[in-house]
Amino acid sequence: MINTKTSLYAVIGDPVSHSLSPLMHNTAFSYIGYNAVYIAFQVKDISRAISGIRALGIKGVSVTIPHKVKVMEYLDYIDDEAIKIGAVNTIINREGELWGYNSDYIGANRAILEKTGIKDKDVLIIGAGGAARAIGYGIIKEGGKVTILNRSKEKGENLAKDIGANFFYPLTDVNNIKCHILINTTSIGMVPDIQKTPFDKSNLQKEMVVMDIVYNPVQTRLLKEASDIGCTIIDGISMFVYQGVFQFELWTGKKAPIDIMKKVVLNNLKGNV
């Protein structure tokens, strides 16, 4: 029951109506008997939103597109890993001081390590946005070797330089790329454009591990085509849940009910599997 002692948590972004974070976190709060509620706010003005977090005493916040970089300007402290990545997706309010963290790379690494090792593996990352930045950083930290593949040469080169990765260009030569792990960090293949894929199936090899951070649909066209030829696949649910697990445990100080969190997200998406 919501009462005067209920702690408030939120996700802020634009858009945010599609987010499954409220469903996942509220289910987890309820399961462990934690008196809290998690809601979604569509935010355009990040500066005023942060002022609101302080004024209302919101205990923790998930930050999503397009605010992960801009939000850093308004926080009191930022974790070293988040500074190196250059993006924050998690805020905790510690007695009025707002601390920023990045759980995206943690979620991605946990999801990958369930299926394969990372150390000394050649990893090809499609995209050069905030997710690519976090995931690339995490893989390099784990001892993997990263190559960025991106349509925009300038953006791809800048990301590669920032995190110590290689950059592959032009895209017409993509059939010459060899990698152990392929990761799509773009929104290509997401509902409603489920027939699109960021990587032609003719360039897939059955020895590859293929990961897609898109989680709606759970099995994107990229993952389906990879699975059909025998690749090991990693869907976006695992990364999404594991980054949420980090947030939950940071905010509450309690162990997250991982299986419950994963189950409720999968059940919500099962019509798109």
Annotated catalytic residue 68? yes
CATH 3.40.50.720 domain extents, the chain: 106-234
* Predicted model pTM: 0.89
Cis omega (within 30 of 0) for bond into 192: yes
DSSP summary character for residue 27: H
Set 5, 59, 68, 201: catalytic member? 68
Q: Which homologous superfamily does the CATH classification assign to the domain defined by 106-234?
A: NAD(P)-binding Rossmann-like Domain (3.40.50.720)
> Which of the residue ranges 172-181, 227-236, 247-256 would you say has the lowest mean pLDDT?
172-181
Each residue's pLDDT tens digit, 127-184: 998 889 999 999 999 999 999 999 888 999 999 999 999 998 766 667 777 899 999 9
Q: Locate 190 and state its tokens.
A: 């997401």
CATH architecture of 7-102+238-272: 3-Layer(aba) Sandwich (3.40)
245 contacts: CB under 8 Å, gap ≥ 6: 107, 256, 258, 261
Domain limits, CATH 3.40.50.10860, in the chain: 7-102+238-272
Asked if residues 269 and 215 have their Cβ atoms less than 8 Å apart, the reply is: yes
**3-state SS track over 110-155:** HHHHCCCCCCCCEEEEECCCHHHHHHHHHHHHCCCEEEEECCCHHH
- Distance (Å, rounded) from C-alpha 208 to C-alpha 217? 21
